[in-house]
Structure 1
Amino acid sequence: MNTSPAADARLHIDTAAVVAGVDGSPTAIRAAQWAAVAAAARHTPLLLVHVARRPALGPRSSEILAYARQAVIGRWRQTTHTPAPEITELTLHGDPATALIDLSATASEVVVGSLGHARTAQTMLGSVAMSVSAAARSPVTVVRPLRYAASAVGPILVVLDPVNPGTADTLAAGMRAAQERATNMVVVELTRSGAASSASGGDVEALVTELGARYPTVRTSMITYFGHPRTALERFSSTAQLVVVAREHRTLWPPQQGMGRTALGHTRCAVSVIPEPTAAPTGIERFLAHARIEADRVFARPDHRHRTALEQGAATR
């Protein structure tokens, strides 16, 4: 049976568990609560995951997971009378980014907080959220602290770059999120001079119409914007609760310089990064993905000892 691009894009997002990475931080708790909404709407389990870097932290993992479960259930009882999703817990050992990327292969979505129990926001975003969003096989949502009212009640903003091939998947994820969070969707289609487009305006409108039949409660408005992606993100995301963008396919380091990284670096709300539609990764791609994670983990440390010769020379002057 032949299916349309929008239908194909929906096949992998409505059946598997939603994974939430938790570390006991307030932002991770908000990420778990965000993931619970998605899991309940999709009638799938919510999997709370804590990755301990050392086996000795195993007992603390159970406390972190129990606290996250209690926070999710408590918030759920305060805000709705519908049944909460099934919640399961998992403790793993090793590098958090690597573990979450592995889990993404069988997940509907991976949700993480932008800030965790790290020394600086840059450390956490660089070592976990950025690495996972750059290499995961499923959509990844990075949830930020709730500091603005729009972050709770604003629309879902979908930004489409003409050079990215993932238009159908990105629109499907955006409209799904809009229905799950009972809000509207705004689609911003970027136009660049001389850029080869992967989907024309008519194609985007057709995809929106097709998806609208599946998500009839979502109202969608469309905007064509001529300008730089960063400018568009900064301009239109100020009133959004979630920005949805496609990830560019890159096999070489640095792992992410396109829309995903731009959205994570220049918005105040949550960001969903949708992976590019590709075949299973090759051996060299898996090796490069692991190398990216290690590079992010090392260079995100504010006190790492792997300084360049120039830095070492400057320190001795």
Structure 2
Amino acid sequence: MDAKPPVVVGVDGSPTAMDAARWAAAYAVRHGASLCCVYGYHLPMYGFSPIGTLGEMENFDARARRQAEDMLGTAAGRLREAYAGLEIDTRMETGGGTAVLVDASKSAIATVVGARGGGGFTHLLLGSVADQVTVHGLGPVIVVRGPAPDRGPVLVGVDASEHAARALRYAAAEAALRGTDLVVLHAYTETLHPRSGDPAAEGKAEAERLLDTMTADLHELHPRLRVQTRPVYTGRVDQAMIEASAEAVLTVVGCRGLGGLRSILLGSTSRALVHHAASPVAVVHRQG
């Protein structure tokens, strides 16, 4: 029998990465999976150097590797103390953090990143590695910004797209596993082609029909799951989701919805959420 894929988390020694690692460890325990702490190691790039400096460069590389190994070991040690019985591995590979984590996401049940890493400026809402892994990773990619709430519903935003349906299935399974409610939000505006004198009422009715259709089989899949459907009248889907995320333990969204061009890997709502949501955000891509 094949081993269950691990939960992968990017670790670089920063406080936000450690918050993400703790969140990933709890996620792994909940899913009965192992945890793999990953660090992408950058080899320094050298041009032509004066004679006699090659040994110094090699020593610098060796010191940098030892520091990275010590950092990974320290992070894994803290997690083992906090999550007794959790199988924790470390993985350090040459290459940028983005490339290493995207590659690791191919064989992970989920990939977790901190909103900012050790290389980011503190005023940036999302670091470059987190941003790129969210765009290019496979399966669920979860962005954690600071200590995460431990109570609240799982929130998912839906439209009629395939990406939203995938996100809904993931969110329902997460809510059922956590024993919490699932809130399914659909943002709507006035209908474009009203058949009556009340386009706002028609827009709401269309939103309610979509929500009923999208959630119709959830009770069969998760009989004990409590599902709340929430049509929200707004012209700003991203703002509606950001505001609703304040009450959620996890906010889930597809990598893009009906509004995005197929060539765009991450939709505007997904991107806004990973930058501004008040809870961890799972962007659900197709599995590799």
Scaled to the shorter chain, the TM-score interval is 0.7 to 0.9
Matched with 1:313 is none
Distance 2:228 2:69 in 1: 44
Q: Flag the structure with higher helix content.
A: 1
**Which residue identity lines up with residue 115 of structure 1 in the other structure?**
R
TM-score of the aligned structures, taking structure 2 as reference length: 0.77
Partner of 2:36: 47
Match of 2:197 in 1: none
Query: Unaligned 5+ residue runs, structure 2?
Result: 45-60, 193-202
Structure 2 residue 6 is the aligned partner of structure 1 residue 24: no
1:153 maps to 151
1:133-181 CA-partner distances (Å, limit 9, x unpaired) = 111111100011128xxx232221111134x322332122212322444
2:227 corresponds in structure 1 to 220
> How many angstroms does 1:119 deviate by?
4.0
The gaps in structure 1 that reach 5 residues or longer are 1-13, 78-83, 281-317
* Residues 1:259 and 2:269 are matched in the alignment: yes
Letter aligned with residue 87 of structure 1: I
SS at match of 1:188: strand
Instruction: Give 1:71's match in structure 2, choosing from 57, 78, 99.
Output: 78
**Counterpart for residue 167 of structure 1:** 164
1:314 is matched with which residue? none
Q: Aligned partner of 2:251: which letter?
A: V
Partner in structure 2 of residue 298 of structure 1: none
Q: Distance in 2 between matches of 1:190 and 1:208?
A: 20
Q: How far apart, CA to CA, are the structure 2 residues paired with 1:67 and 1:181? A: 29
Q: What letter matches 1:184 in structure 2?
A: D
2:96 is equivalent to residue 128 of structure 1: no
Give 1:47 deviation, angstroms: 0.9
Alignment partners' CA distance in 2, 1:211 and 1:32: 30
Normalising by structure 1, what TM-score?
0.70
Q: Are 2:231 and 1:233 equivalent residues in the alignment?
A: no
Q: In the alignment, does 2:182 pair up with 1:185? A: yes
Q: Distance in 2 between matches of 1:220 and 1:129?
A: 30
Deviations 1:92-151, CA, capped at 9 Å, x for gaps: 11111111111111111100101221241466824111111111111100011128xxx2
Residue type matched to 1:75 in 2? A
Which secondary structure state, in structure 2, belongs to the residue aligned with residue 125 of structure 1? coil
**SS in structure 2 of the partner of residue 176 of structure 1:** helix
Q: Provide the rounded CA distance (Å) in 1 between the counterparts of 2:125 and 2:65.
A: 21
Q: 1:271 aligns with which of 256, 281, 286?
A: 281
How many pairs align? 250
User: Percent identity of the aligned residues?
Assistant: 28
Cα shift at 1:276: 4.8
Larger Rg: 2
SS in 1 for 2:222: helix
CA displacement 1:213-256 (0-9 Å, x = unmatched): 3xx3x422111122221221132111112110001276656x53
Partner of 1:98: 99
Structure 1 residues 38-47 or 102-111, which shifts more? 38-47
Deviation at 1:20, TM superposition (A): 0.6
Cα 1:107–1:124 change in 2 (3 A) is farther
1:85 alignment partner in structure 2: 86
Contact 2:80 2:86 in 1 (8 A): no
Q: Note the aligned Cα RMSD (angstroms).
A: 2.8
CA distance in 1, matches of 2:123, 2:43: 22
How has the CA–CA distance of structure 1 residues 68 and 181 changed in structure 2, closer, same or farther, with 3 Å as cutoff?
Answer: farther
Residues 167 and 234 (structure 1), Cα distance of their counterparts in 2 relative to 1, 3 Å cut? closer
- Structure-2 separation of matches of 1:130 and 1:223: 28
CA offset digits 1:69-91 (Å, max 9, x no partner): 122223225xxxxxx32111110
